[in-house]
Amino acid sequence: QKEVEQDPGPLSVPEGAIVSLNCTYSNSAFQYFMWYRQYSRKGPELLMYTYSSGNKEDGRFTAQVDKSSKYISLFIRDSQPSDSATYLCAMSVSSGSARQLTFGSGTQLTVLP
């Protein structure tokens, strides 16, 4: 069993839809949770970073963490074609500068105009 499981999709939604992306994990030592967006043939860019259970909102993006269920989500409101990308969840045990991230396999999202 992988430490982090993520539905690879692909997921296709119409413009304006609410998108829900999810990851589950098995290692209860994970304390820090991130969502990255990766456009085709580019490096990932950080979207959201959180370390506590609950919701964190940033513009159209909301990250949700449920440590008791070992489940995290990313919600995208009013989705746009420019949101079409692969979304990767990532987790780490520590927050130090040398911490290693464990990534999900990524969900490919297409927002249709």
Partner 1 sequence: GAVVSQHPSRVICKSGTSVKIECRSLDFQATTMFWYRQFPKQSLMLMATSNEGSKATYEQGVEKDKFLINHASLTLSTLTVTSAHPEDSSFYICSASGGNGYTFGSGTRLTVV
Maximum alpha-carbon separation in the chain: 41
Name the segment binding partner 1 (CB under 8 A); options: 12-20, 55-63, 74-82, 102-110.
102-110
Cβ-based neighbours of 76, under 8 Å, separated by 6 or more: 18, 19, 21, 60, 61, 83
DSSP strand pairing (45-50 vs 61-66): unpaired
Q: Taking the complex as a whole, how short is the minimal distance between the CB of residue 39 and partner 1, in angstroms? A: 10
Q: Which of residues 17-76 bind partner 1 (CB under 8 A)?
A: 34, 36, 41-46, 49
Among 88, 91, 109, 111, binds partner 1 (CB under 8 A): 88
Residue 91 sits in the site that holds partner 1 (CB under 8 A): no
Strand partners, 91: 33, 102
**Which residue ranges make up the site for partner 1 (CB under 8 A)?**
6, 8, 34, 36, 41-46, 49, 88, 97-101, 103-106, 108
